[in-house]
């Protein structure tokens, strides 16, 4: 049954939907827990946690429907603030809501990779450093042995999981090199593009026909999939489009010089979200990876200077 799941589950949209479903489930469990406890740690109505969790899910629902650049980081900050608030309201010792922080950190690492895991782990440490002292009564006893044990287990799990994430990252990178199709855009991967170029470039050299390479990056990172769909509508049979990296798409235009390549881009702009493109003719006896790296470097310099929609890369000498 798992093998028959739709491919959309592997996309960025599918990942965000899974995360929202998990957040909704844990919010429901936390609400039921606070309904069952006799009183809160702070003197306030018992309905407060449920109301806060409802607002929490509403905000995450908006982020799911209206994503923007940096929305994942905003979602993580909201998670930490919500978990810190629940931990402060939890009357038990040790507080069971402490386990939710472990779940949040580990699940973020599992779905978002090692960098997001480390950033959320650091954020969780800051939240605990603030909230745990606030839970202590003035002149009260220090943290109970059970709470200290739970914190030690959390830290050990986080360190072990971090090592496993690093290992998984290395294995994933190796697997991506052999992947043919990008799951988010539906285009071929960069590795597949390099494989295609292995026979395409020598063919064009023998025929002495022009070949133009283009990198495209949407102004809004959330429009990458939309740009890929628009690109698919404008592709000619001989054109080759691929996912270049996290932010860019690559386009190879066989039998097309730079001038005609500009016409292809102008036609694409009529139906695509706003994007910036950098283009160059592919010289003879040059690898595609070298050309793409040259375009990416030109892209970086050009976007630092101004916000042009089209950048012509300087000639690349073979």
d(CA 312, CA 270): 20
Q: What is the pLDDT of residue 1?
A: 42
Q: What is the pLDDT of residue 28?
A: 93
Among 116, 145, 177, residue at a domain's last position: 177
The backbone region for 250, taken as left when phi is positive above 0, alpha when psi lies in -120 to 50, beta otherwise, is beta
Same domain, 44 and 7: yes
Q: What is the pLDDT of residue 138?
A: 56
What is the pTM for the complete model shown? 0.54
Among 121, 149, 177, residue at a domain's last position: 177
Range of the domain at 228: 190-312
Same domain, 147 and 10: yes
Same domain, 166 and 211: no
Same domain, 137 and 194: no
Among 146, 177, 208, residue at a domain's last position: 177
Q: What is the pLDDT of residue 141?
A: 52
**Per-run averaged pLDDT (10 residues), the chain, 318 residues:** 53 81 91 89 85 93 88 90 91 85 83 81 88 72 65 78 79 68 82 79 78 90 89 84 88 89 90 90 83 86 63 77
d(CA 316, CA 303): 19
Q: Considering only CA atoms, which of 294, 213, 201, 203 is closest in space to residue 251?
A: 213
Same domain, 214 and 95: no
Q: What is the pLDDT of residue 169?
A: 75
Same domain, 166 and 203: no
Q: What is the pLDDT of residue 4?
A: 46
Same domain, 173 and 194: no
Please check whether residue 23 lies inside any domain of the structure: yes
Number of domain units in the chain: 2
Same domain, 119 and 203: no
């Amino acid at each position: 049954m798992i093998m028959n799941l739709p491919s959309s589950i592997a996309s960025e949209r599918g990942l965000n939907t899974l995360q929202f479903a998990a957040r909704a489930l844990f919010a429901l469990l936390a609400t039921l827990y606070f309904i069952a406890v006799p009183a809160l740690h702070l003197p306030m109505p018992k309905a407060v946690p449920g109301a806060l969790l409802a607002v929490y899910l509403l905000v995450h629902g908006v982020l799911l429907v209206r994503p923007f650049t940096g929305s994942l980081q905003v979602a993580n900050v909201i998670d930490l603030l919500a978990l810190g608030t629940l931990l402060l309201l939890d009357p038990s010792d040790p507080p069971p809501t402490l386990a939710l922080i472990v779940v949040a950190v580990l699940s973020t690492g599992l779905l978002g990779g090692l960098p997001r895991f480390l950033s959320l782990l650091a954020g969780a440490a800051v939240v605990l450093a603030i909230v745990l002292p606030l839970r202590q009564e003035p002149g009260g006893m220090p943290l109970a042995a059970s709470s200290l044990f739970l914190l030690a287990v959390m830290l050990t799990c986080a360190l072990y999981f971090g090592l496993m994430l690093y290992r998984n990252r290395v294995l994933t990178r190796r697997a991506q090199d052999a992947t043919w199709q990008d799951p988010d855009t539906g285009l071929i991967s960069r590795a597949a593009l390099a494989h295609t170029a292995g026979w395409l470039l020598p063919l064009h050299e023998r025929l002495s026909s022009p070949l133009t390479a283009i990198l495209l990056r949407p102004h809004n990172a959330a429009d990458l999939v939309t740009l890929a769909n628009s690109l698919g509508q404008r592709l000619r049979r001989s054109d080759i489009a691929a996912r270049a990296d996290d932010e860019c798409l690559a386009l190879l235009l066989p039998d097309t010089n730079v001038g005609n390549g500009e016409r292809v881009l102008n036609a694409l702009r009529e139906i695509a979200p706003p994007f910036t493109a950098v283009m160059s003719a592919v010289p003879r006896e040059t690898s595609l990876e070298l050309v793409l790296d040259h375009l990416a470097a030109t892209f970086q310099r050009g976007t630092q200077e101004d916000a042009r929609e089209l950048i012509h890369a300087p000639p690349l000498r073979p």
